[in-house]
Every structure is written in C-alpha cells, then in structure tokens.
C-alpha cells in the first residue's frame, strides 16, 4: 500500500506499507489461567508506558478471591525505554504503547487484529463466559476502537481514566457501543481526565443515544482496588 509522495530537497519520497508477521505478548491472572472454562473473562488494556504483567497487579487479589474469573492483559506491540541514555541499557525501564500519531491508521488496524487474535485464543471453549473489556488511560481509546471495529464481542466496557476517542465515529459505532454495559471511571484528582473532559465525553455519548454510567473516586490517574471490587 502506498501513500502520496512527499517532496524533499533531493527528490520525492514515496511511503510504502508491508504486512509482516510478528509476535505479541499477553499475560493472565486467575486459577483458570492454565486451562478450563472460566465463568468470566476480563480483557484489561494498559496505559501508555506500562507493561502487561505489571498492569495486572491491582487485579491479583480479586482474581485470587474469585477463582472463576480469568484476567487477560494484552501488551501494546510497540515497546520503548522509559529512561534516557544516561541510564545503562541493562537498567533502563521498559514500557509499551498502543500507538502514536505516526502512521496511526496502520497501527490501529494492527492492534485491532492483534486483540482479535488474543480474544480468539483465550475464548476457545464453546461455552462463552461473560466478557468485560477494561481500558485504562491510553488503553481506553484502544478498547473503544477494538470493540467498535473488531470481531470480538463483549458484554461490558469500562473506560477508566481516559476518553472515548474523539475521532471514533459514534454514528457508525454507536449501535455496537449501545449494546454494551458501558461505565466511565474517573478520579476526581486526575490531572489528565478532568471534569471538563469527562463532561464533554458524556455529552457526546448522550447525543448519540449511548447509555452509560459514571463512577468517580477520590484518587487520581490510577486504578483503585476498591472501585475495581465494586465493578467486579
């Protein structure tokens, strides 16, 4: 696939795309992680600069207490060092991202296909469990686009500390989102998702007839275990 030419001082650069095979990683929690048929499955999508395994930590106690819920954390396909070059390479922290603005449409297509593949691998049993998708921070846009555009089907969507992406066509995706039990979760001290942004998001959803509820808590840009327990 080619895009339009781009002029430079030395000539015209043509951009091309090629589809390649690559390996994605996901982590799981819960007694059913090794096999069997869980009663419920949560797909949880991390925020910018996080890794799947670490993102699962707030869910660990709930999964252990429950014993019949499988928590699945796919990891963004793009990893990068969080620390600068002054930190030795062996000691630099690593994070992952779902996408950037660069070549964003191709990256969206890639992660939707990747998440569909994880979903298909996890839900192999004919008996379909109750499926919850939770997106946190950058993962909220990923979760919304996935459920709007992908093959996966969920019963519930939790948008935590992020937005329903402004570029998502709710006129086209509204029917699929309306079929979900949609919850928006926001910390009152969240500096990224302010009350103004939350109000804009809820007004947009209402204007397209998408039902939802809002859960607020006293913290900031973080997962809160007590709120998770209420939603569990």
Q: Where are the domains of the chain?
A: 24-231
pTM for the whole thing?
0.90
Sequential pLDDT tens for the chain (232 residues) = 555 555 556 789 999 999 888 899 999 998 655 556 788 999 999 999 999 999 999 999 999 888 889 999 999 999 978 888 888 888 898 889 999 999 999 999 999 999 999 999 999 877 889 999 999 999 999 999 999 999 999 999 999 999 999 999 998 887 888 889 999 999 999 999 999 999 999 999 999 999 999 999 999 999 999 999 999 9
Other Cβ atoms within 10 Å of 18 Cβ, number: 5
Give the per-residue pLDDT at 9.
Answer: 65
What tokens appear for 198 in the block?
Answer: 């939350």
The dihedral region occupied by 168, where left means phi > 0, alpha psi between -120 and 50, and beta the remainder, is: beta
Give the per-residue pLDDT at 84.
Answer: 87
Give the tens place of pLDDT for each residue, 178-203. 889 999 999 999 999 999 999 999 99
**Residue 220 burial class via C-beta count within 10 angstroms: exposed 0-12, middle 13-18, buried 19 and up:** middle
Closest CA to 111 of 123, 99, 96: 99
Helix 138-149 and helix 170-178, axial crossing angle in degrees, nearest 10? 90
Give the per-residue pLDDT at 3.
Answer: 55
Give the per-residue pLDDT at 5.
Answer: 58
Give the tens place of pLDDT for each residue, 17-37. 998 888 999 999 986 555 567
User: What topology does CATH give the domain 24-231?
Assistant: Rossmann fold (3.40.50)
* Radius of gyration of the CA atoms of the chain, in A: 19
């Amino acid at each position: 696939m080619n895009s339009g030419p781009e002029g430079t001082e030395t000539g015209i650069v043509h951009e091309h795309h090629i589809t390649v095979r690559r390996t994605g990683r996901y982590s799981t929690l819960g007694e059913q992680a090794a096999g069997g048929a869980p009663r419920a499955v949560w797909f949880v999508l991390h925020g910018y600069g996080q890794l799947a395994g670490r993102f699962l930590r707030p869910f660990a106690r709930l999964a252990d207490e429950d014993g019949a819920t499988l928590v699945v954390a796919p990891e963004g396909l793009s990893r990068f060092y969080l620390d600068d070059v002054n930190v030795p390479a062996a000691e630099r922290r690593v994070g992952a991202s779902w996408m950037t603005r660069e070549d964003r449409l191709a990256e969206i297509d890639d992660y939707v296909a990747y998440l569909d593949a994880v979903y298909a691998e996890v839900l192999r049993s004919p008996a379909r469990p109750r499926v919850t998708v939770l997106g946190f921070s950058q993962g909220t846009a990923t979760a919304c686009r996935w459920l709007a555009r992908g093959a996966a089907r969920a019963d519930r969507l939790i948008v935590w500390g992020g937005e329903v992406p402004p570029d998502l066509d709710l006129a086209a995706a509204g029917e699929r989102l309306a079929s979900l039990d949609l919850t928006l979760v926001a910390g009152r001290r969240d500096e990224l998702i302010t009350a103004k942004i939350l109000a804009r998001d809820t007004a947009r959803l209402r204007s397209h007839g998408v039902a939802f509820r809002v859960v607020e808590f006293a913290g900031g840009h973080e997962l809160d275990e007590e709120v998770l327990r209420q939603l569990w």
